[in-house]
Amino acid sequence: MSRLPIVLLVALLLAGCATPRPAASPTELMLAAPPDAALEAAAEALMAGGYVVRHADASLGRLEAVFSRWPGYRVLVRVEARGEGSQLALTATRGGRVLPPSTLELLTAEIAARLAASD
């Protein structure tokens, strides 16, 4: 009988370890460009920065890229049409852990600069 409370205590402690990670809040960028151009600019900016685009689908508005060397970042880009322009949402992860939005500031600036230069 004395084992039951110990087993229950261990089970409760282990159950607390299995909580899911909070959802990533993406870095969002509103652009005056159409979704196809925004996705293309994002792909170009990522490739120029040393990323390898693994998957890209303009019809779904999705792009996944990974950093070609250590420390192994992964960036997921989603684009949606918003009126005349588009909304770009970027999420960065490393080792399955979500990175803070500040990690993507240079990338978002590069994407906006590429779109401004193409106008």
Distance (Å, whole) CA 60 – CA 63 = 9
Distance (Å, whole) CA 10 – CA 82 = 51
Positions of the chain with pLDDT lower than 70, given as ranges: 1, 12-13, 15-24
pLDDT of residue 55: 93
- Phi, psi angle pair for 67, to nearest 5°: -70, 135
Please give the structure tokens belonging to residue 40: 């293309």
pLDDT tens sequence across 24-41: 678 888 989 999 999 999
pLDDT of residue 67: 87
Distance (Å, whole) CA 112 – CA 3 = 62
Indicate the burial class of 62 (C-beta count within 10 angstroms; 0-12, 13-18, 19 or more): middle
What average pLDDT is seen over the chain? Answer: 85
Provide the whole-model pTM: 0.76
pLDDT tens sequence across 72-83: 789 999 999 998
